[in-house]
């Protein structure tokens, strides 16, 4: 009797397992089907074209994006955007890879502009020129002038536009007003000032400037201020260990080594060192303002400003994600996708997006927007990022960029944790980067 | 029923029972293994269109020449050699102690088992805090013995040790339970007989408990070796998506992950998986050979 019951149980468990796997298979197939069927139905005559949009926005950012998507869907009756949050950027990237392999890519997806060369080499993504520059729904030349050039530049690869900017932040400088008053420090305007302040307050146990765990973005910014990008656009000449880049790396590493600068190490982000008064300034992302507001003690008065100049040059790296359109979509879907992309870049929408998320607006004219002006007045910490936009830059993207970025982070890490000299670490990186670029040509 | 001769019908029925598991195994285990073996030999390969330009051992040559892969193998071996023996010995000792105290033993068993059922991410977050160089518990305790704060997570000389300590702690719970089961399965008669022969506590442990526990010890060590060779999520979580400071915690699976997901070198990733497969196979075979002589069932 007991034997029999056991067998029955086992049978049920097996049956259950089989059912679960079957259901999983069926739903997977079902999802695939629904994707293609919507595209079939959507040929003109009053029918709605549905497009799928994968993104990596979570928490308040996801809420803001959903609001914008629903605004778009209500603003017209031809197109419907269905947004799907795929977790963070890393998982989003992995899902795009898996979807590309199984031929089930969405119509559009968020991705970093640095993956564009890889995606375009694999033939996944559609150039946008036919919609953006030509076509019936194109951007006017006034529009193109209005969008910050750094964003347009990073959207371009081999002479064609492949992406539109979306969630963008800049590197800015946070300052601890309370501590500055206490130490009698004046507001710096240049890295040279900061070096001086560093020497001045070293004896008081405070480092002048804090960085995140890695200072790769500040390094690239300083290299540009010194006179060269790490990789030249178009020619893809690698300047990682050039005299100017070394000068930039030395400036940071000298400060780190003599205690006037501090990297975040195990804290990952430099805000902890900053709010606990270990560093007077903090060079970080403008996307961290929300975090800073939560983390800073109430009696600490802090503010933001654009990154200081170096040799009277200004530069700040823009980070964040773009949106790309996949080739596998139908012509109708692509048209719908472009309509949504254009909507996202329009003046009121980009201003609203910036207000809701703290990302920067994509257009200069968004600054004239009344509600955006009110927002800046209400929240002055958001102003530094916007003020940084005119001298913002983005790294040169090339095939194999993510491998290069791994190596860049390794090089910075080697300087910090293995105490490798800047010349050695950047020399290695120079060779690695040249190999990557050569092997992918 | 058991003595029935296998007929065509009974075999068909057996197959039917096996079918669900077989389908799952073949689709999710056998097929991927075969395809990754094949992929490791592809030379000019387009992952997305499945176009193979040629076959050869280029990917293995790449691994042979890649200092990062050498580092990954070295770190993995150090990790396995440190984690497995310590885990086995520690969990055996704790299991013996738990077996001695009847009072609160259920409570302690639960405590030791908790790390096993907690997600690695949560564990790593707690250890991140324990290891913090400024306000971590670890340095606080070490401070009692006059040891200067150690930068567990940012010093390449200590970060592998940090990973090893966390992994041992995480592995203990499950192994303790296995050892407890093994200890309870030993017939009391053996101990009584040994006592009559005048064996002291240590002799009883050495000559009764240890030999009769050998099947469990064998299971625990095989499990430990395989699991430790495949270490990945602990690193990813403890060092927040990096292979540790100065790549001090780069292991074979982490290397594979990087090649696959961030460098898009799919065949190289597959080749490193094959190397890992044979490494584990080799060690397991050695263990099996050893067990023939020393494990008493």
- State yes or no: pLDDT of A37 exceeds 50: no
What per-residue confidence (pLDDT) applies to B1?
Answer: 53
Token pair 């090893």 is at which residue? B164
Residues of A in contact with B153 (CB under 8 A): 265-266
Residues of B in contact with A98 (CB under 8 A): none
Asked if this assembly's ipTM is beyond 0.90, the reply is no
What per-residue confidence (pLDDT) applies to B8?
Answer: 87
- How many angstroms away from the CA of A10 is the closest CA of chain B? 10
Classify A28 as helix, strand or coil.
helix
SS3 of chain A: helix, strand, coil, percent, to 5: 55, 15, 25
With cut-offs at 50, 70 and 90, classify the pLDDT of residue A8. very low
Classify A138 as helix, strand or coil.
coil
Best to test chain B binding among A3, A7, A94, A417 (most B CBs inside 10 Å)? A417
What per-residue confidence (pLDDT) applies to A3?
Answer: 43
Quote the CATH superfamily of domain A169-317+395-439. Answer: Periplasmic binding protein-like II (3.40.190.10)
How much is the mean pLDDT over chain A?
89
- How many angstroms away from the CA of A378 is the closest CA of chain B? 35
Q: Are strands B51-52 and A156-157 parallel, antiparallel or unpaired?
A: unpaired
- B48 in A contact zone (CB under 8 Å): yes
More confident residue, B110 or A81: A81
Mean pLDDT computed over A238-254: 96
Question: For the purposes of burial, counting CB atoms within 10 Å of the CB of A380, is it exposed (0-12), middle (13-18) or buried (19 or more)?
Answer: exposed
Q: Taking phi first (over 0 means left), then psi (-120 to 50 degrees means alpha), and beta for anything else, what does residue A140 get? A: beta
Mean pLDDT computed over A60-71: 94
Mean pLDDT computed over A336-361: 94
- How many angstroms away from the CA of A416 is the closest CA of chain B? 9
Mean pLDDT computed over A244-270: 95
Contact between chains at A417 and B247 (C-beta distance less than 8 A): no
- B158 in A contact zone (CB under 8 Å): no
Residues of A in contact with B264 (CB under 8 A): 118, 400, 402-403
Q: How far is the C-alpha of A131 from the C-alpha of A315, rounded, in Å? A: 31
Q: Are strands B51-52 and B45-46 parallel, antiparallel or unpaired?
A: antiparallel
Q: How far is the C-alpha of A296 from the C-alpha of A288, rounded, in Å? A: 12
- State yes or no: pLDDT of A2 exceeds 60: no
Q: How far is the C-alpha of B104 from the C-alpha of A368, rounded, in Å? A: 70
- State yes or no: pLDDT of A147 exceeds 50: yes
CATH 3.40.190.10 positions along chain A are 48-168+319-391, 169-317+395-439
- State yes or no: pLDDT of A148 exceeds 50: yes
CB atoms within 10 A of CB B215: 15
Virtual torsion, Cα B289, B290, B296, B297, nearest 10 deg? -40
- Do B24 and A19 form a contact (C-beta atoms < 8 A)? no
What per-residue confidence (pLDDT) applies to B105?
Answer: 78
Buried b (16+ CB within 10 A) or exposed e, B142-181: eeeeeeeebbbbbbbebbbebbbbbbbbbbbbbbbbbbbe
With cut-offs at 50, 70 and 90, classify the pLDDT of residue A42. very low
Q: How far is the C-alpha of A224 from the C-alpha of A216, rounded, in Å? A: 12
Taking each continuous run of H as one helix and of E as one strand, the counts in chain B are: 14, 2
The two tokens of residue A324 are: 């790309």
Residue of B nearest to A404 (CA): B263
Best to test chain B binding among A18, A24, A266, A402 (most B CBs inside 10 Å)? A266
Buried b (16+ CB within 10 A) or exposed e, A176-194: beebbeeeebeebebbebb
Structural Rg of chain A based on CA atoms: 25
Best to test chain A binding among B48, B248, B268 (most A CBs inside 10 Å)? B48
Domain spanning A48-168+319-391: which CATH class is it, in words?
alpha beta
Query: Average pLDDT by consecutive 10-residue portion of chain B (297 residues)?
Result: 75 92 94 94 88 91 96 97 96 91 82 88 92 91 91 94 95 92 90 91 90 92 94 93 93 96 92 96 93 80
In order of their start, the domains of chain B are 60-294 (1.10.3720.10)
- B21 in A contact zone (CB under 8 Å): yes
A219: enclosing H helix or E strand: helix A216-226
- How many angstroms away from the CA of B126 is the closest CA of chain A? 13
The two tokens of residue A77 are: 């009756």
Contact between chains at A265 and B151 (C-beta distance less than 8 A): yes
- Render B84-146 in DSSP notation, one character per residue: HHHHHHHHHHHHHHHHH--TTHHHHHHHHHHHHHS-HHHHHHHHHHHT-TTT-HHHHHHHHTT
Roughly what angle, to the nearest 10 degrees, separates helices B31-39 and B266-294? 120
């Amino acid at each position: 009797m007991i034997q029999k019951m056991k067998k029955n149980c086992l049978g049920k468990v097996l049956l259950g397992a089989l059912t679960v796997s079957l259901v999983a298979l069926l739903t997977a197939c079902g999802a695939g089907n629904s994707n293609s069927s919507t595209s079939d139905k959507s040929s003109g005559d009053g029918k709605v074209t549905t497009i799928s949009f994968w993104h990596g926005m979570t928490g308040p950012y996801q809420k803001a994006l959903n609001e914008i998507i629903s605004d778009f869907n209500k603003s017209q009756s031809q197109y419907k955007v269905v947004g799907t949050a795929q977790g963070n950027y890393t998982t989003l990237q992995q899902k795009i890879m898996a979807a590309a392999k199984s031929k089930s890519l969405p119509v559009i997806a968020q991705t970093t502009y640095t993956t564009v060369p890889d995606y375009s080499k694999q033939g996944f993504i559609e150039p946008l020129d036919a919609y953006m520059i030509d076509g019936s729904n194109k951007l006017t030349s006034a529009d193109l002038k209005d969008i910050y050039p750094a964003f347009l530049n990073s959207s371009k690869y081999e002479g064609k536009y492949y992406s539109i900017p979306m969630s963008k932040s800049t590197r800015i400088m946070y300052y601890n007003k309370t501590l500055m008053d206490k130490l009698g420090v004046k507001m710096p305007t240049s890295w040279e000032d900061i070096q001086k302040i560093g020497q001045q307050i070293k004896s008081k146990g405070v480092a002048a400037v804090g960085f995140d765990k890695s200072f790769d973005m500040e390094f690239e910014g300083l290299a540009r201020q010194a006179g060269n990008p790490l990789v030249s656009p178009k020619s893809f000449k690698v300047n990682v260990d050039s005299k100017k880049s070394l000068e930039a790396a030395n400036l940071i590493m000298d400060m780190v080594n003599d205690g006037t600068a501090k990297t975040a190490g195990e804290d990952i982000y430099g805000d902890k060192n900053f709010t606990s008064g270990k560093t007077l300034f903090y060079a970080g992302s403008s996307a961290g303002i929300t975090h800073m507001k939560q983390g800073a003690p109430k009696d600490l008065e802090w503010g933001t400003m654009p990154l200081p100049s170096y040799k009277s040059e200004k530069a700040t790296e823009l980070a964040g994600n773009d949106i790309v359109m996949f080739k596998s979509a139908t012509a109708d879907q692509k048209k719908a996708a472009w309509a949504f992309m254009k909507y996202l870049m329009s003046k009121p929408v980009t201003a609203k997006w910036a207000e809701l998320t703290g990302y920067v607006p994509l257009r200069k004219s968004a600054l004239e927007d009344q509600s955006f002006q009110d927002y800046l007045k209400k929240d002055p910490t958001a102003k530094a990022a916007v003020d940084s936009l005119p001298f913002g830059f983005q790294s040169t993207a090339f095939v194999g960029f993510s491998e290069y970025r791994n190596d860049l982070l390794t090089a910075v890490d080697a300087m910090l944790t293995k105490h490798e000299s800047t010349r050695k670490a950047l020399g290695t990186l120079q060779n690695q980067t040249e190999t990557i670029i050569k092997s992918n040509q | 029923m058991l003595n029935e001769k296998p007929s065509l019908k009974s075999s068909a029925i057996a197959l039917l029972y096996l079918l669900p598991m077989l389908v799952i195994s073949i689709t999710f285990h056998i097929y991927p293994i075969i395809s990754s073996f094949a992929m490791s030999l592809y030379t000019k390969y387009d992952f997305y269109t499945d176009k193979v330009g040629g076959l050869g051992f280029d990917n293995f040559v790449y691994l042979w020449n890649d200092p990062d892969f050498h580092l990954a193998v070295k770190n993995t071996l150090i990790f396995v050699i440190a984690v497995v023996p310590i885990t086995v010995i520690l969990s055996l000792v704790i299991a013996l102690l738990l077996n001695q105290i009847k009072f609160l033993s259920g409570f302690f068993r639960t405590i030791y088992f908790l790390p096993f059922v907690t997600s690695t991410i949560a564990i790593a977050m707690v250890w991140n805090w324990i290891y913090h160089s400024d306000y971590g518990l670890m340095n606080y305790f070490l401070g009692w013995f006059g040891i200067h704060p150690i930068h567990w997570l940012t010093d390449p000389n200590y970060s592998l040790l940090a990973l090893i300590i966390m992994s041992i702690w995480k592995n203990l719970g499950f192994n303790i339970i296995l050892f407890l089961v093994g200890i309870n399965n030993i017939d009391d008669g053996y101990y009584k007989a040994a006592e009559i022969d005048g064996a002291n506590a240590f002799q009883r442990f050495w000559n009764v408990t240890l030999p009769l526990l050998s099947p469990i010890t064998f299971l625990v060590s095989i499990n430990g070796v395989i699991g430790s060779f495949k270490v990945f999520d602990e690193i990813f979580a403890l060092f927040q998506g990096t292979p540790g400071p100065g790549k001090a915690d780069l292991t074979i699976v982490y290397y594979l992950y990087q090649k696959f997901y961030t460098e898009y070198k799919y065949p190289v990733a597959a080749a490193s998986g094959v190397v890992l497969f044979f490494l584990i196979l080799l060690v397991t075979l050695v263990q099996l050979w050893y067990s023939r002589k020393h494990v008493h069932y």
